[in-house]
Amino acid sequence: MGDVLAISPDGKKGIRVIAADKPQSMIWGTPGQTTWSWALNPLPDGSTRLVTRIRAVYHWVSPTIVSSMLIEFADIWMIRKMLLNVKVRAEGMERSQVLAQRLALGR
């Protein structure tokens, strides 16, 4: 806890780890503002499900509310791409295998 995870290319900006239960879960963020949780849930078939949730407090009268809302809409695609990349790394799959799997599922 307390470590900062870099989120900018130069490593100067980051998100603080505020809770961790290795290797089950981790929460990043600023308590009372924005938190991002990650949890690994074992499934009966022996596989594992990664669940991530973001909670944010919006300041509705702030001049930055419009940009905050636009970022929320972009988050859907950013998080999906990120989770697919986590899947590729976790399963040791080649990029071509992932694309073939997605095409087979119609995504």
Please write the tens of the pLDDT for every residue from 7-40: 778 877 888 899 989 889 999 988 788 888 999 9
Look up the pTM and report it.
0.64
Q: How confident is the model at residue 44 (pLDDT cuts 50, 70, 90)?
A: very high
Are 17 and 28 spatial neighbours (Cβ–Cβ below 8 Å)? yes
Report the Cα–Cα distance between both ends of the chain, in Å, rounded.
Answer: 37
Say whether the peptide bond before residue 23 is cis (omega within 30 degrees of 0): yes
CB 31 within 8 A of CB 23: no
Contacts of 40 (CB under 8 A, 6+ apart): 23, 24, 25, 48, 49, 50
